[in-house]
Structure 1
Amino acid sequence: MTGKGKRRKGDLLFDVIIVILLCVIAFSLFKVASILNEYQKGTREYKQIAEDADLKLEENRLHVDWKALKKKNSDVKAWIYSKGTVINYPVVQGDDNSFYLHRLLNKEYNFKGTLFIDYRVAKPFDDFNTIIYGHRMKDGSMFKPLVKYREEDYYRKHKVMQLATPKHQYDLVIFAAVTIPARSSMYKCTFETRKEKEAYLEKIREKTVLTTDIQVSADDRIVMMSTCTYEFDNARVVVYGKLIEKD
């Protein structure tokens, strides 16, 4: 083969490699653009939901137009708000723990999903332990702030959240933050006896990384807020709050 022929073959191979690289770059840019669009779509939707629900915080109470919110989705059970953070979302409960994992309140697919109550909770916020799940999004939204509760300084600045249901207003007083496996026995909804509740609270005290003076007993109602963390495979960070009814 002549030197000229070798150069042509080399040039062709180089051109093929360039085309492949350009295709890879184009595909990567498309994926990134798609992800960013999903994030932005979710953000816009939640902003619109807050406007439609006429959401206001007045005298430390959440004002929510429940009729308008229920018209959007009858699965809505509550609204949760944490001052100075992005946590300001409706909370739903579906028939399983997967439907709202990647669906917005309008039930359209989106990475962000919706904050949702474990389907096994019979009476949300009336039962001893109400479990709420939410994503830890890379843009800092949804339940991302929960991971910071393992830091004492952050906890001191955000000790109380607000939670509203169609019938009641609550302070959600944070008292513990733990890191557990996704399949931990801590994800417990049913308690038959007072002794079971006391044993559960003792487990929380043993695992929490927070030092608080909040007293919690078997007579109280608590909320377990769960999101992803990455200390180990399928790890979850859970923040516990004590419900204190305002009215």
Structure 2
Amino acid sequence: MLVVFFALLLSFSSYMVARLYIQGQEEQAAFDQLTDSVISQNDTFTSEYENSDGMQTTSKYTEYLSIYKKNNDFVCWINIDGTLVNYPVMYTPDDPQYYLRRAFDKSDSQSGTPFVGEGGNINSDCFIIYGHNMDNDSMFGTLDRYKEAAFYKKASTFTITTLTERRTYEVFAAIETYVSDEEGLYPYKYSGNIDLKDYDDLTNWLLDHALYDTGVFPSYGEQIVLLSTCSYHTKNGRFVVAARRIS
């Protein structure tokens, strides 16, 4: 009887693993279709669109205008060469974690969609983008490649493109932390506009806890973005890539 029980348990576990895998693949396929729907443009040109406030705004990068028209929670697109990170980023200030378990079309999703965290926005002195660390490497599942200095040397910069500009960010620190106490939560409390002291406190903390020395030192006035995902190096672990805007 015990043998039958364990056989059934194994079968059920295998079924659940397969189900989650298939679900993850289907969710990634939906993002692939979204990416394919973007019309690539080598040159910038202008086009008017109506923003969430009902105002007419000019866009330079109309390849992302089509994404915005599908869902006006879309705020930017992040792309990191050498990883699978190539996704829309969502912004819902009244409910920052709305896309934690929702797809771009707002349907239920284990993978969720990368989103801007509480307290900041894409124009703040510092803002945070969260994404799940998925087993199939989707979302921020390949962000942890930055744990190796050798990878950083090949991909020290990445792009974030809004409806109106293409930005370049330079990585200056990659850290492993945790969210079990105040010390581990330290970098997350600086999302938003910060003064010189807080800026220096944040950047010094990140540099002191970095896995390796990048030789990059942000200066006050340079915008900071933190890319955050789960990490399994410890209980409640997080992996954070910190970057400064350089263009």
TM-score category by the smaller chain? 0.7 to 0.9
Asked if structure 2 preserves the Cα contact closer than 8 Å seen for 1:225 and 1:238, the reply is yes
Q: Which residue of 1 aligns with 2:56?
A: none
Query: By how many angstroms is 1:70 displaced?
Result: 1.3
Equivalents in 1 of 2:246, 2:20: separation in Å?
39
Q: SS where residue 101 of structure 1 aligns? A: coil
Q: Which residue of 1 aligns with 2:209?
A: 207
Query: By how many angstroms is 1:240 displaced?
Result: 0.7
Equivalents in 2 of 1:46, 1:57: separation in Å?
22
Q: Which residue of 1 aligns with 2:9?
A: 24
Q: SS where residue 177 of structure 2 aligns? A: strand
Greater shift, 85-94 or 184-193, is seen at: 184-193
Give a deviation string over 1:155-181, Cα, whole Å, max 9, x none. Answer: 111111111001111111111111122
Q: SS where residue 132 of structure 1 aligns? A: strand
Structure 2: unaligned runs, 5 residues or longer: 45-59
Query: By how many angstroms is 1:63 displaced?
Result: 5.5
- 2:162 counterpart of 1:165: yes
Greater shift, 26-35 or 174-183, is seen at: 26-35
Q: Which residue of 2 aligns with 1:105?
A: 104
Q: Which residue of 2 aligns with 1:92?
A: 90
Q: Percent identity?
A: 27
Equivalents in 1 of 2:6, 2:198: separation in Å?
60
Give the one of 48, 66, 74 matched to 1:68.
66
Flag the structure with higher helix content. Answer: 1
Equivalents in 2 of 1:98, 1:192: separation in Å?
22
Matches within 5 A, 1:1-247: 20-21=5-6, 23-55=8-40, 65-94=63-92, 95-121=94-120, 124-182=121-179, 184-187=185-188, 188-245=190-247
Query: By how many angstroms is 1:25 displaced?
Result: 4.1
Equivalents in 2 of 1:225, 1:199: separation in Å?
18
Equivalents in 2 of 1:86, 1:57: separation in Å?
22
Distance 1:74 1:191, change over 3 A: closer
Asked if structure 1 preserves the Cα contact closer than 8 Å seen for 2:125 and 2:194, the reply is no
RMSD: 2.3
Q: SS where residue 45 of structure 1 aligns? A: helix
The TM-score, its normalising length taken from structure 2, stands at 0.83
Query: By how many angstroms is 1:138 displaced?
Result: 0.9
Give a deviation string over 1:84-113, Cα, whole Å, max 9, x none. Answer: 220100000123343211111011112111
Give a deviation string over 1:201-229, Cα, whole Å, max 9, x none. Answer: 11112111221232311110011000111
Asked if structure 2 preserves the Cα contact closer than 8 Å seen for 1:55 and 1:63, the reply is no
Asked if structure 1 preserves the Cα contact closer than 8 Å seen for 2:224 and 2:242, the reply is yes
Structure 1: unaligned runs, 5 residues or longer: 1-15
Asked if structure 2 preserves the Cα contact closer than 8 Å seen for 1:125 and 1:221, the reply is no
The TM-score, its normalising length taken from structure 1, stands at 0.83
Distance 1:137 1:48, change over 3 A: same
**What amino acid does structure 2 have at the position aligned with 1:117?**
V
Asked if structure 1 preserves the Cα contact closer than 8 Å seen for 2:128 and 2:191, the reply is yes
Q: SS where residue 99 of structure 1 aligns? A: coil
**What amino acid does structure 1 have at the position aligned with 2:103?**
L
Kindly tell me the number of residue pairs found equivalent between the two proteins. Answer: 226
